[in-house]
């Protein structure tokens, strides 16, 4: 909308909610009137409210719940929420739109690292990597045996990707290189130019795909439509030998139902980088041998985190210059 973005006549007042890589913080201090979170503590709701009463730009992360009440209580000076991360499920977008606050994210720069983590988890679960590692460290390894530590081959298996955006497609390319066949469920079928090289099969219904694939990877955003997209009923549609991989968002999975499915061996295992109530982990998940649990580290490379910071800076600079920031999330804003 013309005139929506206004050039600022001063350095924007920016508050960053967590520690960012040093070069990013240094550059922010040069460019902006910035307050950094030097001890990196996750901000309390009160601290967030205070920040939103003062900042023109808030740069939050996934650990900040920016809900409707916080946005409605923000001061009139708050004009941009420049998120450090792709997922914006922790920000109430409707409330931001209603208040005329722009929201940006950091797409693209963490795609490959996150897709690598999907492959890591597929291999770790199917080949029992951490079971073996724990055995060696515990001094329990008695030596090689023809029938010891057997897992499952991933070559030739069917991978079902739920959400075929940037990360889903990057997972598909890697899976092809490992000799897997690619299946996907997405609201829209992808153009032939993308489907073709991946030899990807589109499944219009998730249920039908779940019943046919050996490994399911969740790569969609968390929205009202995708909350608990994997629930008890859908876990029962998966094959008993199938694995579930989630590097996207914990609440995509009904964790109670997942634990029950794993306990009754309704599915063979799971590789999880995200959790429904993270950082809390369902206590019974911790007891299960057939799961690999990681601390939300899909994009945790030095390279990705620096490039994410650079994207946050670019979004703020373009915004402060009076233009639509490149990674504006609200399409109709
Ligand atoms: C980020 C992520 O580390 O970008 C995302 O959506 O899930 C993570 O890879 C996190 O969101 C940073 O805020």
Q: Is the pLDDT of residue 1 over 60?
A: no
- Residues marked active site are found at 249, 278, 296
Residue 331 pLDDT > 80, yes or no? no
Return the ligand 1 atom nearest residue 114 CA: 9
Ligand 1 pocket by Cβ (under 6 Å): 61-62, 84-87, 110, 298-299
Whether 129 and 271 map to the same domain: the answer is yes
Nearest residue to 70 (alpha-carbon basis) of 102, 43, 48, 97: 48
The strand order across the sheet containing 80-82 reads 33-35, 13-16, 57-59, 80-82, 102-104
Residue nearest to ligand 1 atom 6, measured at CA: 87
The mean per-residue pLDDT over the stretch 136-157 comes to: 97
Whole-number Å distance between alpha carbons of 137 and 130: 10
Say yes or no to pLDDT of 135 above 70. yes
* pLDDT score of 4: 74
Could you tell me if 57 and 316 are in contact, meaning their C-beta atoms sit under 8 angstroms apart? yes
Read off the pLDDT of residues 240-265 as tens digits, 9 standing for 90 and up: 999 999 999 999 999 999 999 999 99
The alpha carbon of 60 and the centre of ligand 1 are apart by a number of angstroms equal to: 11
> Which mutation among 247, 296, 306, 311 tests ligand 1's pocket best, with the greatest number of atoms within 8 A of CB?
296
- Residue 3 belongs to a domain: no
In a domain, 332, yes or no: no
Give tens-digit pLDDT for 175-211. Answer: 999 999 999 999 999 999 999 999 999 999 999 999 9
pLDDT tens-place string over residues 285-301: 999 999 999 999 999 99
Residue range 54-69: mean pLDDT, rounded: 98
Is residue 71 located within the same domain as residue 158?
no
Q: Are both 51 and 132 inside the same structural domain? A: no
d(CA 139, CA 132): 11
**Is it the case that residue 305 has pLDDT exceeding 60?**
yes
pLDDT band at 5 (very low <50, low <70, confident <90, very high): confident
* pLDDT value of residue 3: 57
How many Å lie between the centroid of ligand 1 and the Cα of residue 298? Answer: 8
**Residue 2 reports pLDDT greater than 50:** no
Query: Considering its fold, how many domains does the chain have in total?
Result: 2
Same domain, 252 and 188: yes
Asked if the structure places residue 142 within a domain, the reply is yes
What is the residue-averaged pLDDT of the chain?
96
CATH number at residue 96: 3.40.50.720
Residue 4 lies in a domain: no
Residue 118 vs residues 257, 292, 316: alpha-carbon distances, Å = 22, 12, 31
Would you say residue 43 lies in a domain?
Answer: yes
Residue 215 C-alpha to ligand 1 middle, in angstroms? Answer: 23
- Following DSSP, what letter does each residue of 221-272 receive, concatenated? ---TTTTTSB-HHHHHHS-TT-EEEE-S-GGGB-HHHHHHHHHTTSSSEEEE
State the Cα–Cα distance between residues 120 and 222, nearest whole angstrom. Answer: 22
Asked if residue 143 and residue 250 are part of one domain, the reply reads yes
pTM, whole model, 2 decimals?
Answer: 0.96
Q: Are 290 and 263 in contact (CB under 8 A)?
A: no
The parent domain of residue 88 ranges over 13-109+302-320
The tokens 């009440």 sit on which residue?
69
Task: Give the tokens for residue 273.
Answer: 């980088």
- Asked whether the beta carbons of 31 and 25 are under 8 A apart, the reply is no
Same domain, 156 and 283: yes
């Amino acid at each position: 909308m013309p005139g929506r973005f206004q050039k600022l006549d001063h350095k924007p007042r920016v508050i960053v909610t967590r520690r960012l890589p040093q070069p990013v913080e240094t550059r922010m201090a040069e460019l902006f009137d910035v307050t950094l979170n030097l001890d990196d503590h996750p901000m309390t709701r009160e601290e967030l409210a205070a920040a939103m009463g003062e900042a023109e730009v808030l740069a939050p992360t996934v650990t900040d719940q920016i809900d409707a009440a916080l946005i409605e209580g923000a001061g009139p000076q708050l004009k941009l929420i420049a998120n450090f991360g792709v997922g914006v499920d922790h920000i109430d977008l409707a409330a931001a739109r209603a208040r005329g606050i722009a929201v940006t994210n950091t797409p693209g720069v963490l795609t490959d690292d996150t897709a690598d983590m999907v492959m890591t988890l597929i291999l770790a679960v199917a080949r029992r990597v951490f079971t073996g590692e724990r055995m060696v460290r515990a001094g329990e390894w008695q030596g090689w045996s023809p029938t010891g530590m057997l897992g499952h081959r991933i070559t030739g298996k069917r991978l079902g990707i739920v959400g075929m955006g940037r990360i889903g497609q990057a997972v598909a390319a890697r899976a092809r290189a490992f000799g897997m066949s690619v299946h996907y469920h997405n609201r829209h079928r992808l153009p032939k130019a993308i489907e073709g090289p991946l030899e990807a099969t589109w499944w219009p219904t998730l249920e039908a795909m779940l019943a046919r694939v050996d490994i399911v990877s969740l790569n969609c955003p968390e929205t009202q439509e995708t909350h608990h997209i994997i629930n008890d009923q859908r876990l029962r549609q998966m094959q008993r030998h199938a694995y579930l991989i989630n590097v996207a968002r914990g609440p995509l999975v009904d964790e109670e139902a997942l634990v029950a499915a794993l306990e009754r061996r309704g599915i063979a295992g799971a590789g999880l980088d995200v959790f429904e109530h993270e950082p809390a982990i369902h206590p019974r998940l911790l007891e299960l041998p057939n799961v690999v649990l990681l601390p939300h580290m899909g994009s945790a490379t030095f390279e990705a985190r620096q490039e994410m910071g650079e994207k946050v800076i670019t979004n703020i600079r373009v915004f402060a210059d009076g233009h639509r920031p490149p990674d504006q999330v609200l399409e109709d804003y």
